[in-house]
Amino acid sequence: MDNDAYGHVNNVIYLSWFDTVVNDYLIRSQVLDPQHGSVVGFVVETQCRYLSPLTFPQRIDAGLRVRRIGTSSVRYEIAIFAEHAETASAQGDFVHVYVDRAARKPVPLPAQLLAALRRIEA
């Protein structure tokens, strides 16, 4: 599924990478517990600009920063690079709205999450 009929990484894989990059940062920062946390981020928007093709099993690097922090939402910017490349192969946005796990209603960003987001804010 990684490579499409044209021999390069399928466009939906990039969106999966975006999700992985964001969640990896949040888990490593110890501000996301996907299984038991009382607050969870729902993806409400994604966007990707494809700049040059990649081919599986080519290795990649990814960059992440926070573009905008709202009361209950965050807009991340992600760039995907061929391993060791200086120019991105894809760039995009990824928006989380944080909600109470049980009520499914937006909640203000918890202080620890907000601190982790500020560390990578552009």
- Whole-prediction pTM value? 0.91
For 41-99, write each residue's pLDDT tens digit.
999 999 999 999 999 889 999 999 999 999 999 999 999 999 999 999 999 999 999 99
Quote the DSSP letter at residue 121.
B
Is the pLDDT at 31 greater than 90, yes or no?
Answer: yes
Average pLDDT over residues 9-16: 91
Specify whether the CB–CB gap between 47 and 93 falls below 8 A. Answer: yes
Average pLDDT over residues 13-41: 94
Query: CATH topology for 11-119?
Result: Thiol Ester Dehydrase; Chain A (3.10.129)
- Within its chain, how far is the Cα of 119 from the centroid? 15
Specify whether the CB–CB gap between 39 and 78 falls below 8 A. Answer: no
| Helices 111-119/11-28 angle, 10° precision | 120
- Within its chain, how far is the Cα of 18 from the centroid? 4
Read off the tokens for 30.
């110890």
* H helices, E strands: number in the chain: 2, 4
> What pLDDT, on a 0 to 100 scale, did the predictor assign at position 24?
96
> What pLDDT, on a 0 to 100 scale, did the predictor assign at position 46?
96
Backbone angles phi, psi at 112, to 5 degrees: -65, -40
